[in-house]
Structure 1
Amino acid sequence: MFGFFRAKPQPSGELARLLEQPWPGSSTSLDELKLLAVDIETTGFDASKDRIISIGWVPIDGFEIILGGAGYHVIHSNRSVGESATVHQLTDAMLREGVALPEALEEFFDALRGRVMLAHFASLESSFLDVACQRHFDAPLRAPVVDTFALERRHMERMGTYPRGEDLRLARVRERYGLPWYGNHNALSDALACAELYLALLQNTKATSLKALLG
């Protein structure tokens, strides 16, 4: 009998051009590391059935946040956001005036080029972006990502303090580090909040290269 194999998905369009360039290597020193803090707002937590409704990003070069490179888009949809509007404050009318998801992703790809993605509880961003890229560009994104949620959890465990429930929420962690309060669930302000938290978290690590942050 002949076996069957599934061909590796081949990215198309702007995703293919993004992936032509290598990601930063694991030995990249933190003072030279370029990251892109990313946050998305969605209609739910299941990437297979829920939708991205906004995306925001903020670049970091080494230890400096580059506000001039920040970007934000509300994603166009004619479908109702339902009860999720009570969380992210984006109405059906706002979404009807938004940009198409492929267009927003192409701008995001341009910002991500040559950078490592940064997010808080990154599995959410990664899963939704992988599904969106598969749908619109024929392959998942599969970008390397540093997760501030995981960094703080590892720090707390090293200190003998085991986090529970709310302890690792973005706002709660920022409060412990004396960072200012921002309103939650706006993709741009949450991306900035994540970028600031990343720089604060570096004070608790002896890491000198990207490899230690990905562990």
Structure 2
Amino acid sequence: MSNASAPSLSWWGRIQRWMAGGTLLPEERKHQMLRDMPLLAIDLELTSLDPKKAKITSIGWVEGKAGSIDVSSCYYEVVRASGDLEQSPVIHGLTADTIAQGVHVRDALKKLSQYAHTHVWVLHNAGLDMAVLDRVMAANEQQMENVITLDTLKLAVYQLQKQHEVLPPNSATLTVCRQRHHLPLAPAHNALDDAMATLQLWFAQYYSLDPKGTMSIQDFTHTQAVGCRNLGKIEN
């Protein structure tokens, strides 16, 4: 019997993820057609771009599928926060009193958790928002496993890199990405408005790449816009 130990699951998972183009999707999800998958566009308004210290001041989301947006599913909440909020309240049109009276972040995340396995989440800059969610959920002893995400920012970068060796400044912001796809100007700095704008952008990006609707979510992993991760405190 060899003294060498078997490779750890985390090590093997990293190898599988590398072989899959950076994202290891659950087997039962990878061959689903993107056009058929329920989507949840999410936006967080944050006090900082540093995921290690950013606080959530508001959260908004809306559901969609196959090019349609379900406006009846719109959700928006101001989240209670204290301490140094930097310029976030001013930028996002919130007052200190409004934030102080907001819902506890734990309650907002509990509502969000019902979409962890039923929907693919759509975000603009998923890396930032998911890192913040991961940290905040762990702090509140909450968890979500195998959350699949689509990042409209990364998809924009993928498309831009086909045309530019060096990306133009600010070319991947939500507003500029929407302009590039001839979408109308959308209100900014409100979590629900930004979630709605992000979902509209995703539909435009998706149909520019897959007009016939024949691609699975696995087919999109080469763009680096597809992610799958655990959030919060995951028990072994």
Q: TM-score, normalised by structure 2?
A: 0.75
Contact 1:43 1:51 survives alignment (8 Å): yes
1:213 aligns with 2:220: yes
More strand by share: 2
- Partner-residue secondary structure (3-state), 2:215: coil
Contact 2:42 2:195 survives alignment (8 Å): yes
- Partner-residue secondary structure (3-state), 1:165: coil
Aligned residues: 195
After superposing on structure 2, the runs of 4+ consecutive aligned residues of structure 1 that deviate more than 4 Å are 138-142
- Alpha-carbon distance, 1:211 to partner: 1.4
1:103 aligns with 2:107: yes
Q: Given the alignment, which residue of 141, 146, 149 partners 1:145?
A: 149
Partner of 1:43: 47
Partner of 2:118: 114
Q: Given the alignment, which residue of 180, 185, 189 partners 1:185?
A: 189
Moved more, 84-93 or 114-123: 84-93
Contact 2:37 2:65 survives alignment (8 Å): yes
CA, structure 1 residues 24+125, in 2 after alignment: closer, same or farther (shift >3 Å)?
farther
Partner of 1:163: 167
CA RMSD between the two structures: 2.2
Once residues 49 and 86 of structure 2 are traced to their aligned partners in structure 1, the CA distance between those partners, rounded to angstroms, is: 14
1:28 aligns with 2:32: yes
CA, structure 1 residues 119+139, in 2 after alignment: closer, same or farther (shift >3 Å)?
same
Contact 2:116 2:144 survives alignment (8 Å): no
Q: TM-score, normalised by structure 1?
A: 0.82
Contact 1:155 1:204 survives alignment (8 Å): no
Once residues 98 and 196 of structure 1 are traced to their aligned partners in structure 2, the CA distance between those partners, rounded to angstroms, is: 28
Contact 2:116 2:147 survives alignment (8 Å): no
- Alpha-carbon distance, 1:67 to partner: 1.4
Partner of 1:12: none
Contact 2:117 2:147 survives alignment (8 Å): no
CA, structure 1 residues 156+82, in 2 after alignment: closer, same or farther (shift >3 Å)?
closer
More helix by share: 1
Consecutive unaligned residues of structure 1, counting only runs of 5 or more, are 1-7, 9-21
CA, structure 1 residues 99+141, in 2 after alignment: closer, same or farther (shift >3 Å)?
farther
- Alpha-carbon distance, 1:64 to partner: 1.7
Consecutive unaligned residues of structure 2, counting only runs of 5 or more, are 1-9, 11-25, 223-236
